[in-house]
Structure 1
Amino acid sequence: MIDMHAHYLSPSVLRQASAGSVPVGLAPDGRSLRFPSGPSRPVPLPLCDLTDRLGWMDERAIERQILGPWMDITGDDLSPAAATAWCRTMNDSCARDIGNEPRFGALAALPMVDGRAAAAELGRCVSEMGFVGGAIPTQVAGVDLDEAGLEPLWEAASGLGMVLFMHPFRVMGGSRMRAHFLNNVCGNPFETTLAALRLYFDRTFDRWPDLRILLAHGGGVLPTLAGRAAHASRYGPGFDRAVDHPDSILESFYYDVILHDPRALTLLMNTVEPARIAAGTDYPFPMILDRPTDHIQEAGDLAGLTEDELNRILSGTATHLLPG
């Protein structure tokens, strides 16, 4: 299995933050990072440990894991210059830590506050350090992706043939999402759905047909709502295109498997082709899918998938999305 949804932060980044040598400082607790909009959540220790991670992967027959940044700390509230320096620090440190370990690949942290800078950092990470793509949020400090001036990034990712993994950080709902971990349970998938639909109806994929975006958390509720969106485009106000079938929307994206209920994953499997679904775990956060192969197998049995289709989800889609 190839794990396309995992997170990593080099411990050297915390040391640099403590020393004041990077644009982001360390909070007094020694585990949180300070940003203009406030401190991050405390950095969990497993996020910074590659040795234990390899043991965890061995126990679950995970052949390779693609390390993405922790989106909470990518710095969308920093100035463009500070965000660029900060993301560069995270990416350089990650590359050094991985070294020549073939079981890890990396997605670049991108300074999303500046589309040109984000494009340049993606290109640098791919060409100089062998990164396999980039990670993007669902909004940039309150600005939706289709209005954030990210055209240079879409152009760069398309030209390089690199996947962009969309993972939420800031979510809608404000104080209504604070109880019961709802900012994660509901906020993250709602954000992904909103961002995906805005990109689709902004004709992003018409302009960059080779753009490949992998949606976290099974695409949120996009597989359920694509039909409503297609119907609305034909009969509702505010659309400049009519979508004949929800597959036009759904086939614009790729999806991970982190839904935590095989029945929900079965819905995804019955809605999009296995070639658009990739395995993932969300390591090492509380919403981790701890036994991903079992989860995928159980859902595949319910969906009636063949062995070849299951293997496509376990590793084939990832192999297609990753370079050489």
Structure 2
Amino acid sequence: MSAVTDVHAHVLLPTLHAEIERRVPELVAEAAALELVRNGAASQAVSGPMVGARIPRLTDVAVRLAQMDAQGVDRQWVSASPNHFYPWAPEGLAVWAAMEANRLVAEHVAAAPDRMVGLGLVPLQHPSRMVECLDDAVLGRGLAGVEISSFAGDVELSDPRLEDFWARAAALRCVVFLHPFGCSLDERLDRFYLANTVGQPVENAVAISHLIFAGVLDRHPDLRIVAAHGGGYLPTVIGRSDHAWRVRPDAHGCRDLPSSYLRRMWFDTVVHDPLALQRLVESVGASQVVLGSDYPFDMGSEDPVGEVRAAGLPDEVVDRILGGNAAALLAATEPARGGARG
């Protein structure tokens, strides 16, 4: 059996954020005000202490490794907490922040290279600068790929300006981890923590639909996209997309049935329900599901391995989800990362 691998685990980069606050305090304040509007005061009052209590898990390698041992996880793919995306940052600052995040993530995982794999960042709101940041992450820092949001400003994942990025990511065969930050529904989700419980699955579904219907996966079949949160709502309602593709010419931008593209992507297990996990496997295939925890946030799983084992899946499928599929994904990135500096 392959090493048990959690592909959805986060790290906090306090020195990066402190420098951003020092350079552009007014933009940081504006972003915080927008987050308050989007999430609502009640949710923000809970989230602040929750994150504060988890800072050791997010920053201390020894604490992380102890938690992994307790969960039965051999290896984590570590990505920056999405608050480090800075989608509002101007070009120069955004590029610096992405490359600094790449450096800091690489530094974090280098403390235990047999237990951790890193994912870097690219500035999605500045498409013309994404390739150099991707190269910095994969070729420069030896990271397995990068993490991106579902959108940034006016940039959707179907945007033609992203073609060079998709082509480069496909050529490198690196991981592109799709993890939303924020939701375009804004104030409609400002209570009951709907910004997360509804907003995150919506954003996943919208972003993946942009990739499918715009033909991104047709043009770049070697892309290795991993979607957080089980891909959100899309895998379980993909029949509606297939129907639209059949009857609507404006929904016929992709070559094949939309449902077929789900088997060309990978999806983590952060769905919080054994029946939902069973349905995810049925929709996308046993080879396309990978273990995730959303470590260490409260909307993640404290027992990701146990949740997979409790879903009533065949033993062979469980083994693939817990490690085999992630191992195959990671192996594809090795040639590009082989000569990178640590």
What is the CA deviation profile of residues 3-33 of structure 1, one whole-angstrom value per residue up to 9, with x for unaligned ones? 1001112343245456x3xx455x9xxxxx9
1: CA distance, partners of 2:83 / 2:224: 22
In the superposition, relative to structure 1, how do residues 207 and 35 fare at CA in structure 2: closer, same or farther (>3 Å)? Answer: farther
Q: Is 1:106–2:100 an aligned residue pair?
A: no
In structure 2, the gaps of 5 or more residues are 36-43, 335-342
* CA distance, structure 2, for counterparts of residue 246 and residue 151 of structure 1: 20
Residue 170 (structure 2) pairs with residue 167 (structure 1): no
Which sections of structure 1, spanning at least 5 residues, go unmatched? 28-32
Quick check: 1:93 aligned with 2:96? Answer: no
| 1:37 paired residue number | 31
User: Residue 3 in 1 paired to residue 6 in 2?
Assistant: yes
Whether 1:151 and 2:163 are equivalent positions in the alignment is: yes
Tell me, yes or no, if structure 1 residue 61 matches structure 2 residue 69: no
SS at 2:176's partner residue? strand
Which residue identity is paired with 2:201? P
Question: Percent identity between the aligned chains?
Answer: 32
SS of equivalent to 1:149: helix
The answer to whether the 8 Å contact 2:61/2:111 transfers is: no
The equivalent position to 1:252 in structure 2, one of 256, 259, 264, is 264
Task: State the match for 2:329 in structure 1.
Answer: 321
Partner in structure 1 of residue 90 of structure 2: 79
SS in 2 for 1:281: coil
Give the Å deviation of 1:244. 6.3
Deviation at 1:247, TM superposition (A): 3.5
State the match for 1:265 in structure 2.
277
Q: CA RMSD in A?
A: 2.2
Aligned length: 311
* C-alpha deviation, 1:107, in angstroms: 0.6
Q: For 1:185-200, list aligned pairs within 5 A.
A: 185-200=197-212
Cα distance in structure 1, aligned partners of 2:259 and 2:277: 17
Contact 1:233 1:243 in 2 (8 A): no
| TM-fit CA distance, 1:73 | 2.4
CA distance in 2 between partners of 1:48 and 1:158 (Å): 31
1:97 CA displacement? 2.8
Deviation at 1:246, TM superposition (A): 5.0
CA contact under 8 A between 1:193 and 1:222: conserved in structure 2? Answer: yes
The answer to whether the 8 A contact 2:217-2:261 is kept is no
Aligned counterparts of 1:276 and 1:255: Cα–Cα separation in 2: 6
Q: Which residue in the other structure is 1:30 paired with?
A: none
Q: How far apart, in 2, do the equivalents of 1:6 and 1:260 lie?
A: 16
Rounded to whole Å, the distance in 2 between the matches of 1:242 and 1:37 is 36
Partners of 1:186 and 1:82 lie apart in 2 by 31
TM-score scaled by length of structure 2: 0.85
Distance 1:158 1:36, change over 3 A: farther
Q: Return the alpha-carbon distance in structure 1 between the equivalents of residues 254 and 104 of structure 2.
A: 46
Once residues 239 and 271 of structure 1 are traced to their aligned partners in structure 2, the CA distance between those partners, rounded to angstroms, is 20
Q: Which structure carries more helix by proportion?
A: 2
**Secondary structure in 1 matching 2:104:** helix
Q: Give, in angstroms, the shift of residue 63 of structure 1.
A: 0.5
Where relative contact order (Cα < 8 A, 6+ residues apart) is larger, the structure is 2
Q: What is the CA distance between 1:241 and its match in structure 2?
A: 4.6
What is the match of residue 136 of structure 2? 124
The 1:14–1:38 alpha-carbon spacing in structure 2 relative to 1, beyond 3 Å, is closer
Distance change in 2, residues 1:231/1:110 (3 Å): same
One-letter amino acid matched to 1:230: D
Post-superposition shift, 1:245? 4.5
SS in 2 for 1:296: helix
Q: Secondary structure at the match of 1:131?
A: coil
Match of 1:48 among 39, 42, 59: 59
Tell me how far 1:109 sits from its aligned partner. 1.3
Task: Describe the SS at the equivalent of 1:180.
Answer: coil
